[in-house]
Structure formats: C-alpha cells, structure tokens
A = this chain, B = another copy of it.
Amino acid sequence: MPISIVIFEDNENLRDSLEVLINNSGEYQVLAGFSNVLNAKEQIENLRPDVVILDIDMPVKSGITAIPQIKEIDPKISIVIYTQFEDDDKIFDSLCAGADGYILKKTSPILLFQALKEVREGGAPLSPTIAKKVLATFHKSPNQVLRYNLTPREIEVLKLLIKGYSIKYIASELFVSYDTCKSHLKNIYTKLHVNCGKEAIAKVLEERIIL
C-alpha cells in the first residue's frame, strides 16, 4: 500500500507538479490537493492521509492554523511544512504547533520528496538553514557570563532572582543582609545593562545566559 499524501498549496502549478512528481514515484500517492486550509479539518478527517504537505502563506488563513487541527485528528499524521519563508517566527510557530518537518521551496521539489521518505521513517526533515536555526536555540555561549564579568556571588544572586524571588528572600537564602543583596543587584543591573530586576530576568532567560 503506497503512502498517502494530501497537499495544501495555493500555487496551482506547483501543486500539480508536486502531485505528478509524487504519484510517479510509485511509493507515494496523492489523495488530494487543496489551495487553502479553510476546510482542512473535515478534509483530513475524511481522507486520513499518512503525510500532509503544508504551505504556510495561503489565502485567508495561514497554514500554521491547520497544524493543531490535523494533529488533533491523529498525531501520527506527519506534517511537512513546504514554504518560501525562513523567518524565525514562522519556523518556530510551525514547530511549536506540531510540524514534523520544514522544507524550503528554494530547495528543489526533489528534496521535498526525500523529506517525505525521512518523515515516514520517523525523522524530522529540515532544510539546512532551518536546522541551523533550530540548533542555534540550544547553543549557549560559554562566555556569556564571562562577558558580563559577573562575580561568583553575583551569579548566585542572579540565579535566585530569575526564579522570581524577592530581594528579601534572596538575602535570607544567602544569609546576608537586605542591603548587601541590593548592593549585588545594583552591580548586576549595571553589568547586564538593565534597569531593574524584571529586565534582568527577561534578559537572562531570553538570551539563555548560563549561570
């Protein structure tokens, strides 16, 4: 039994050529192609494909909105994003929503074909630039703390601060006076170039600064 596929892609030419390419492979079969995701839920519910190829930028409704809907029907349905966009928002919105792959159109449809294979084998096909961005979210510069020249004590204070603790509580945790704790915080704020604790927490957690 061939692997079944549904395509959401508003460019008709592209959609048709994908369909031909995939159907001619012998291993895959396109069940249907749609130019928008307005009725994605019912369409997927009826067709129950193994894989969905999903464009993001389509009329009226973003393809991303269809991801949770499809995954709700059956999480085993693989969703491969196929789009021209490579901005962080779209990438991470898609992945967070549950996409299993993200392939850029600027690469050839042939690579999309490879991606179908990979996703069915339990992989997560990503175009190289996308994979790079994904990995980058994990990378933590080992020098980030050094760059800010925080002292060991300041790091201790900051660790407690980013848990949302009050100055009073941090002071008691470290067995120092309230004023000492404040003194450290003042220095921390200066070194991190922020003006208050909230900014410091946001900066540390957003930039994934290791403490």
Query: Which chain A residues have a beta carbon within 8 Å of chain B's beta carbons?
Result: 68, 71-72, 92, 95-100, 118, 121-129, 131-132, 134-135, 138-140, 142-143, 161-166, 194, 196-203, 205-206, 210
Do A163 and B202 touch across chains, with their CB atoms under 8 A apart?
Answer: yes
Query: A194 and B124 in contact (CB under 8 A), knowing A95-B135, A95-B138, A143-B72?
Result: no
Chain B CB within 10 A, most for which of A98, A161, A210:
A98
Q: Which of B132, B142, B202 contacts A164 (CB 8 A)?
A: B202
Q: Which of B72, B194, B206 contacts A205 (CB 8 A)?
A: B206
Quickly give the copy total for this chain: 2
Complex interface: chain B residues within 8 A of A163 (CB): 202
Complex interface: chain B residues within 8 A of A139 (CB): 95-96, 98
In the assembled complex, the Cα of A95 lies from the Cα of B139 at a distance in Å of 6
Q: Which of B124, B166, B196, B201 contacts A128 (CB 8 A)?
A: B124
Complex interface: chain B residues within 8 A of A118 (CB): 128
Do A164 and B95 touch across chains, with their CB atoms under 8 A apart?
Answer: no
For the complex formed, measure the closest distance between the CB of A165 and the CB atoms of chain B, giving whole angstroms: 8
Do B134 and A123 touch across chains, with their CB atoms under 8 A apart?
Answer: no
In the assembled complex, the Cα of A129 lies from the Cα of B139 at a distance in Å of 20
Residue of B with least CB distance to A101: B135
